[in-house]
Amino acid sequence: MAVAKRPDEVFLNIPFAESHEFLYLALISGLVALRLKPRSVLEIPPQQYRLQRLYQLIVSCPYSIHDLSHVTLSNAGHRVPRFNMPFELGIAVAIALAQQRVKTHQFRIFEREPHRLQQSLSDVLGHDPYIHRGCAQGVLECLLDVFPDLPAAPDLSEMRRLCKDLRRFRRERLGENVFTPRAFSTLVVTARKLIEA
């Protein structure tokens, strides 16, 4: 089944962890500032076959960003690594590799530290990660590097301002968990309104 692509959509593969909330908000605000549309697995209804819908969502986006900075051992239980993010990256890599003639999907990898990926996922060597240093400004700088040729791209100060405004909105208006379908949609819509204000 062919999936229609929108040229402005970017699939986000990020850790849904409270400790990474500020990076999540920076990705949403940064992409919206660049006039791109963030997409997330949070949009997939839980009653549908998740893997097929995940594949369809990734293949429908011309770009995907994979933040592997939280691929660590869990704190409790059996102390296992978090594999969802590398797994979703693998799907995106397979989609990109399957496109022999016309490249319609590009993936980018974000990391907190340089060279960490060489130890944890050496199969992607040759795809240098964008290093965000574990900070919101680093995420915004990485987005400007990933999308350097967009028309009317904002400068870093405009992106920082939108990120700050979105964090304020989050504190004042959203509940404890921002990693829900409703919260994701609300954050994207609010970021668009803030950028147009």
| Domain spans in the chain, listed from the N-terminal domain onward | 9-196
Q: What local confidence, expressed as pLDDT, does residue 113 receive?
A: 86
State the average pLDDT for the chain.
Answer: 87
Q: What is the average pLDDT across 60-77?
A: 81
pLDDT band of residue 2 (cuts 50, 70, 90) is: very low
Judged by DSSP in three states, 39 sits in strand
Distance CA 98, CA 186 (A): 34
Strand spans (E) along 62-129: 63-67, 106-111
Rounded to an integer, the average pLDDT of 92-118 is 84
User: No. of H helices and E strands in the chain?
Assistant: 7, 5
pTM: 0.89
d(CA 45, CA 34) in angstroms, rounded, equals 27
List of residues 6+ apart from 98 with CB closer than 8 A: none
pLDDT band at 44; cut points 50, 70, 90: confident
Judged against a pLDDT cut of 70, whether residue 158 lies above it is answered with yes
Look at domain 9-196 and name its CATH class: alpha beta
